[in-house]
């Protein structure tokens, strides 16, 4: 095949009969095809002009590897893999009938909170399966969620997924941003560390779009869009449509600029969304007991000088900001201090050592800006979770400080 040339309908290639071109993207074309007269399949073929580009070929191979790693009802399995006579790699999958979520919103408008929850059950389930295998999707958006006519919800396009636990498999090129700017997290846009919370950010964007029919940010250029995602205040869905404050909270938490302020995982986000959409079910859920680590900041009396009060609280906010990337949640903050808490697997959880190191680093600067008598304590103990949210526990009581 010549560059930019597509396979003509009726052609026989690699044992497949090509019937029609279904779509063309930046890396490949998708055709409706059959093999040996069997059922129709979707055949994805890398553009021949990209064969000389190692990054493109690697991404195509990575998508195959990622999909074959996953076993989830919302991720289509690959039926066949091969190479066409001209050298272009391909893979074949079930041909779906339906439309993607982007087109669905364009045609039908915004979704009800209940419909959002139903779709997110499938999307979050697929992402949990991916994250459990060290795979971050990095391109969650409406056009990559397919609504099949048989009511299945399928998460598509793992072509830019990051395999976080496989050496040599992070294929982001120098100065290249991977993903879709309309739904990219601040850390993606700035070239920062990518982990599962990057996908959680995109889940927040996607939920906002489903609830309102619009993206949270629109801009005339990628540069302005980049700035909005990295710095702008998070818009509330309720500013555009009549939804609850609980939905506002879970959506904006997911879109937090700092990864540590977002729900820790798609499952945690889903529990929060379920609680916001179906509060009566959440009220009946039992509390879950978990071990956790807590950092308690106790400010000494600040006096009446406005400058000293402002300086102390600025120092406190800076100290808390150092802990948020570790995944700690700010449970309370007031004139007397603050509590930051994170569940842990056990006393030997690596997070415990990371938190202790962070506190050792921040303590001198904090105490230098605050009155004598201010303390910073690290402790562990029991907390209670409900729908993935901290709702209390002995560790949150000041009497448990040590």
Residues with catalytic roles: 139
CA distances, 33 to each of 51, 90, 93, 196, 364 (Å) = 22, 12, 10, 35, 66
- Residues 278 and 305: their CA atoms lie apart, in Å, by 47
Count of alpha carbons within 13 angstroms of residue 9, beta-carbon side: 5
Instruction: Give the length of the chain.
Output: 402
Show Cβ contacts of residue 31 under 8 Å, excluding neighbours closer than 6 positions: 7, 18, 19, 20, 21, 22, 42, 43, 45
Taking a C-beta distance cutoff of 8 angstroms, is the pair 370, 300 a contact? yes
Taking a C-beta distance cutoff of 8 angstroms, is the pair 387, 277 a contact? no
Show Cβ contacts of residue 272 under 8 Å, excluding neighbours closer than 6 positions: 249, 250, 253, 263, 387, 388, 389
**DSSP letter string, 289-358:** EEEEEEEEEEPPP--S-HHHHHHHHHHHHHHHHHHGGGT-EEEEEETTEEEEEEE-SSTT-HHHHHHHHH
162-189 residues labelled b (16+ CB within 10 A) or e (exposed):
bbbeeeebebbeeeeebbbbbbbbbbbb
Burial class (CB in 10 A: 0-12, 13-18, 19+), 249: middle
- Residues 93 and 96: their CA atoms lie apart, in Å, by 9
Interhelix angle 196-212/101-108, nearest 10 degrees: 20
């Amino acid at each position: 095949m010549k560059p930019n040339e597509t396979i003509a309908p009726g052609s026989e290639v690699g044992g497949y009969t090509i019937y029609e071109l279904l779509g063309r993207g930046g890396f490949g074309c998708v055709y409706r095809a059959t093999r040996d007269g069997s059922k129709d399949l979707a055949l994805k073929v890398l553009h021949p002009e990209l064969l000389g580009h190692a990054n493109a070929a690697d991404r195509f191979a990575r998508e195959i590897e990622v999909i074959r790693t996953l076993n989830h009802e919302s991720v289509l399995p690959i039926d066949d893999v091969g190479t066409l006579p001209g050298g272009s790699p391909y893979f074949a999958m079930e041909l779906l009938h339906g439309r993607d979520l982007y087109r669905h919103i364009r045609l039908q408008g915004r979704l009800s909170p209940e419909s959002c929850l139903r779709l997110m059950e499938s999307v979050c389930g697929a992402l949990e399966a991916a994250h459990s295998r060290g795979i971050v999707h990095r391109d969650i958006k409406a056009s990559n969620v397919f609504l099949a006519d048989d009511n299945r919800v399928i998460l598509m396009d793992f072509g830019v997924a990051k395999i976080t636990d496989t050496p040599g498999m992070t294929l982001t090129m120098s100065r290249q941003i991977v993903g879709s700017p309309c739904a990219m997290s601040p850390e993606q846009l700035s070239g920062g560390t990518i982990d599962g919370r990057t996908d959680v950010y995109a889940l927040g964007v996607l939920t906002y779009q489903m609830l309102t029919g619009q993206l949270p940010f629109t801009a005339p250029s990628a540069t302005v869009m980049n700035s909005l995602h990295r710095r702008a205040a998070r818009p509330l869905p309720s500013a555009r449509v009549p939804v609850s404050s609980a939905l506002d909270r879970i959506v904006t938490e997911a879109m937090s600029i700092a990864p540590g302020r977002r729900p820790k995982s798609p499952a945690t986000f889903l529990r929060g969304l379920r609680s916001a959409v179906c509060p009566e079910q959440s009220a009946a859920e039992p509390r879950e007991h978990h071990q956790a680590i807590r950092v308690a900041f106790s400010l000494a009396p600040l006096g009446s000088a406005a400058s000293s009060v402002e300086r102390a609280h600025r120092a406190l906010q800076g100290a808390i900001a150092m802990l948020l990337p570790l995944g700690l949640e700010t449970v309370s903050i007031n004139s007397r201090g603050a509590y930051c808490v994170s569940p842990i697997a056990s006393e030997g959880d690596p997070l415990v050592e990371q938190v202790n190191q962070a506190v050792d680093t921040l303590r001198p600067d904090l105490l230098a800006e605050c009155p004598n008598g201010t303390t910073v304590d690290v402790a562990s103990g029991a907390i209670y979770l409900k729908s993935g949210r901290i709702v209390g526990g002995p560790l949150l009581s000041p009497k448990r400080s040590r």
